[in-house]
Amino acid sequence: MAGAAASVRSILAAFALALAAGAQAAPRDEAVSGYRFQIVTADNGTVTRRIVDDLYKRLAPIFAVFRTELAQRRRMLVVTVGPAALHDIVKRDCDCAVISAFTSSQVYRSVLSSVPPARAAAMTAVYAEPAPADQLRLVSLLYGRPVRVSAILGRDTGFLKPVLEGQAEVQDFAPGDDINRILSRIAQTEVLLALPDSEVYNTESIRNILLSTYRHKQAVIGFSADMVKAGALATTYSEVEDVNAQVAEMAAAYVATGVLPPPQFPRYFRTVVNEGVARSLDVRVSSDVRNFARAAPRQP
């Protein structure tokens, strides 16, 4: 766990992208000619430019053959990059369909609850965090036997209970709860499945959680590669191109049918393992674990 404290800052920086709504305003609507899509961002940083450049290359061919005879009423599809852009687009008077990307399920669902039902029906998302089902499969590959898995859910991640039912022991976390008391209750489980919830995992708690689970010889399956660097055992994670491929598939489905697919966790991913933590926990990292991935289709 040496160096974990220094790495916590990088976890929280990555976590903020998915959980915290930024204050920068997204660009205003511009006239659209040719292609009937728009990518809305809230900054012009290096990562954002990488996302937009790759996403444009994927979306342009889809909308070059946009069939105007289809019955969809909303002719404009907007892809929002990050939570600030999502917040901005819902404030606009935009009769458009929306795909949210690079925003956590927690934030997306919170935003969705604040808009009228008719507007919400024209929105969908590719969530920022790993799919719980893939994370649980990773646990099975790591241990090769049944193990007790726990998960701590706050108010905004409670919707995941049905997904985890029968596969993890869920501990509810309410505002004001003592995280140390909850960690004591789950001390006998072998794995903590960490899910991005700002009530549970924040600047005050994340270091404590990693140290406590390490002392109890518990593995933490993280929700980002940075969390693995800081002391979690492993995680699945998606690169920019993985998420963009899925967004493009959703856009293609909309163009073809006029119907937006439902919100989804990332479909394409790869795996990262903290080898030092694995050795400390006596977990053998097999080739099945190292190769656990689902590759996105190559661009034409």
In tens, the pLDDT along 126-157 reads 999 999 999 999 999 999 999 999 999 999 89
Q: How far apart are CA 4 and CA 11, in angstroms?
A: 10
Q: Please list, residue by residue across 119-155, b when 16 or more beta carbons sit within 10 angstroms of its beta carbon and e when fewer do.
A: eeebbbbbbbbbbbebbbebbbbbbeeeeebbbbbbe
* Residue linked to tokens 């055992």: 233
Give the list of residues 6+ apart from residue 299 with CB closer than 8 angstroms, or none.
Answer: 57, 58, 245
| Strand ranges, E, within 62-190 | 77-81, 97-103, 123-127, 149-153, 169-172
Token digits of residue 160: 């995941």
| Strand ranges, E, within the chain | 37-40, 77-81, 97-103, 123-127, 149-153, 169-172, 191-193, 219-221, 234-237, 270-273
Residue type at 53 in one-letter notation = D
Residue 8 clears pLDDT 90, i.e. is over it: no
DSSP H stretches of helix in 76-148: 83-91, 105-112, 117-120, 132-143
Span 31-90, pLDDT tens digits: 433 348 999 999 999 999 999 999 999 999 988 865 554 445 557 899 999 999 999 999
Give the list of residues 6+ apart from residue 117 with CB closer than 8 angstroms, or none.
Answer: none
Token digits of residue 199: 């009530």
Q: Please list, residue by residue across 232-252, b when 16 or more beta carbons sit within 10 angstroms of its beta carbon and e when fewer do.
A: bbbbbbbbbbbbbbbbbbbbb
pLDDT band at 19 (very low <50, low <70, confident <90, very high): very low
| Paired residues of 236 in beta bridges | 271
Strands 234-237 and 270-273: antiparallel
Span 90-125, pLDDT tens digits: 998 888 899 999 999 999 999 999 999 999 999 999
